[in-house]
Structure 1
Amino acid sequence: MLLLSEDQTRDALPFPELIDSLRAIFQSGCVMPTRHHHDVEIPGEEDGTMLLMPAWVPGGFSGVKVANVVPGNSDRNLPAVSAQYLLSDARTGKMLALIDGGELTARRTAAASALAASYLARPDAEHLLVVGTGRLAINLVGAHMAVRPIKQVTIWGRSKEKSANLAREIGSSYPVKVTVAGKLGEALENADIVSAATLSSEPLIRGADLRAGTHVDLVGAFKPSMRESDDEVIKRAELYVDTRDGCLVEGGDIVQPMKAGLITEADIKADLYELCRSDHPGRQSSEAITVFKSVGAALEDLAGAMLAYRNGGH
């Protein structure tokens, strides 16, 4: 069985190839049962959660991601999320590879954002604003650079120290000009692409600050109670999602305005299936504001795992 560490998984998933792999699986589709959520009691602290995300291509590959989320790990100085991906032969059931789930998730999530941006961001988009300083941030830079001519990256985070550290890391990793934003509103006014990956429950991105032609990529806010954009963003924008099933249930940026009656399901112009299959043309105007909301899907993990297996020497 192939075992891929975090570093090996990163090396096996270069963004141009990963984005192409995601495009291909959204075009062809796969079997993707509803993810399983199980509460796990932990004496003396908040419950943990076990997440199981299965998917398979009949006669091809099958896989499942197992993720354990333990909020109390912050007190132990341990990551809150531990994950692994088990890839199998869907014809024989033979288990083929165990792949680092954290790195796989981070890279496929960023690649899905870039895949959407390849249809929704202006072709001349050069200035990327990243909102948030977590693990996804540097991945979002690398992924968007694979589909758009990014020359300038601006970082905004609540922590000035984390923002400065991230800016240095990006500057040493990619040939772009990197700055740290003082005020988010001013940064929003100057960005071509805004990519937000936070755990915010209150809107950070305000529609009044966005200029015409901006593409907004909403990666965080994966629970209905969480939100990164305000109502004005949603009212001004053309709305797109990774999967309708996921975003209509879990994506707070869609669920909350829908419950408030600001939008209906019909206002979602397309999902990644429709964009990748050319059922919808994506951006049609240089002046439009586009919003892509993602919550993640098991077929993205499967596509990444298949690519990592192939690039790992199989």
Structure 2
Amino acid sequence: MKTFDAAATRAALTFERLVPALREAFAGDATVPPRHVHSIGEGAGRGTVLIMPAWSDAGYLGIKTINIFPGNSARGLPGLHATYVLYDAHTGVPLAQMDGNEITAHRTAAAAALGASFLARDDAANLLVLGTGRVAKLLPAAHASVRPIREVHVWNHRPEGARALAAEWRAAGWNAHAVADQPDALALAVRAADIVSCATLATAPLVRGEWLAPGTHLDLIGSFTPTMKEADPACFGHGARVFVDTDEALLKAGDLLDAIAAGALAATDVQATLAQLCRGEREGRTSGGERTVFKAVGTALEDLTAATLVWRDANGQRLA
């Protein structure tokens, strides 16, 4: 069994390759059983363990184990740690162990970009990122693979974290700025953005519907349990067109569950899943002025797609 460390895993997962691979995967067929979810610990040390299997007709079986501990930020540690094991689906023979953190971060950002390719305005150039973790750091590059991103702003509940990430992005060539640490600054940044992308572990809404301007695309990819939420119910009402990565989002996403409970959204209001968009069965954005929302909770199909890219690249089967 081969081992791919973080650098080797990351090298194969450019967004120019991963986003099209995800589009093909969502349009195709794969078996994705429900994830297993387990809670560990209590209070500030409470964590969640996800076990996510998937397999495809291409002959690969993958299982990701991911541990999420939101309290880690206070310890100076990432809130997410994951491992990924790829197997031969015909024999069960282990093929490789990969860095699950890189798999998770890249496939999550790539899925956000895939959603934006259908839902953000063609001229979307101003990106606002909420969060400073692994996924958040990748969002400018991910969205720039599908839209002409020219300016990036970042907000974090710890202002120093936002300033540090903005400086890191500027060093990489982005026109990047931290949202000011003052009242109403986040509201103003949301109103000015073409794409608002949330990649946090928040348990209370950060974005309010009243802040969103016509034509905005709201991308919610951080929360994945009923107790986690990044947007208030108003974000899903007032004519917003709502899309999800999979139907599982309606069962797992606190944002959606709160909006449904508040009467701002009905399950039947959801316009499409990523699979329906990728297969051309449903339409994405239909006008420049409409407001779109994409809510993702992640799927093992994305992990398997990313891991397959890494494996094929290492074995001289690089795809265009």
TM-score (norm 1): 0.93
Partner SS for 2:30: coil
Q: 1:217 to 1:276 in 2, by over 3 A?
A: same
Corresponding position of 1:232? 234
Structure 1 segment 157-176 matched on structure 2, within 5 A: 157-173=156-172, 175-176=173-174
Closer, same or farther: CA 195–79 of 1 in aligned 2, 3 Å: closer
1:184 to 183, 186, 190: 186
Residues 233 and 258, structure 2, Cα contact 8 Å, conserved in 1: no
Return the alpha-carbon distance in structure 1 between the equivalents of residues 274 and 27 of structure 2: 9
Q: Say which is worse superposed, 269-278 or 64-73, in terms of deviation.
A: 64-73
Which residue of structure 2 aligns with residue 193 of structure 1? 195
SS state at 1:194 partner: strand
Relative distance call for 1:46 and 1:227 in structure 2 (3 A) is closer
Letter in 2 for 1:122: R
| TM superposition shift of 1:16 | 1.1
User: Could you tell me which residue of structure 2 aligns to residue 19 of structure 1?
Assistant: 19
Gaps of 5+ in 2: none
Counterpart CA distance in 1 for 2:302 and 2:33 is: 13
Structure 1 distance, partners of 2:283, 2:44, is 49
Q: List per-residue Cα deviations over 1:112-165 (Å, max 9, x = no partner).
A: 000000000001111101111122112111100100000000111122211111
Which amino acid letter does the alignment assign opposite residue 203 of structure 1?
A: P
User: Which segments of 5 or more consecutive residues in structure 1 lack a partner in the other structure?
Assistant: none
For 2:222, which of 220, 223, 234 is the aligned residue?
Answer: 220
Equivalent in the alignment of 1:95: 94
What amino acid sits opposite 1:5 in the alignment? D
Give the match for residue 251 of structure 1: 253
Give percent identity, aligned residues only: 45
1:127 & 1:62 partners in 2: Cα distance? 38
Which residue does the alignment assign to 1:29? Answer: 29
Structure 1 residues 176 and 47, CA, compared in 2 at 3 Å: closer, same or farther?
A: closer
Partners of 1:180 and 1:80 lie apart in 2 by 21
* 1:265-302 C-alpha deviation (Å, 9 max, x unpaired): 11000010100001112000100000000010010000
Give deviations 1:12-41, integer Å, cap 9, x for gaps: 100111101111110002101111123456
For the 8 Å contact 1:3–1:99, the answer to whether it is kept is: yes
Distance 1:231 1:75, change over 3 A: closer
Superposition pairs for residues 1-314 of structure 1, below 5 Å?
1-39=1-39, 46=45, 48-58=47-57, 60-69=59-68, 78-173=77-172, 175-182=173-180, 183-236=185-238, 237-244=240-247, 246-314=248-316
Q: 1:59–1:91: 8 Å Cα contact kept in structure 2?
A: no
TM-score (norm 2): 0.91
Spell out, residue by residue over 1:70-111, the C-alpha distance to the aligned partner (whole angstroms, 9 max, x if none): 567668765443311111111122211111001110000000
**What's the CA shift string for 1:210-240, capped at 9, x where partnerless?**
1111101011222212221122211131000
Classify 1:56/1:208 alpha carbon distance in 2 versus 1 (closer, same or farther; 3 Å). same
Query: How many residue pairs get matched?
Result: 311
The residue type equivalent to 2:258 in the other structure is Q
AA aligned opposite 1:14: T
Deviates more, 1:255-264 or 1:18-27: 255-264
> Does structure 2 conserve the Cα–Cα contact (< 8 Å) formed by 1:55 and 1:298?
yes
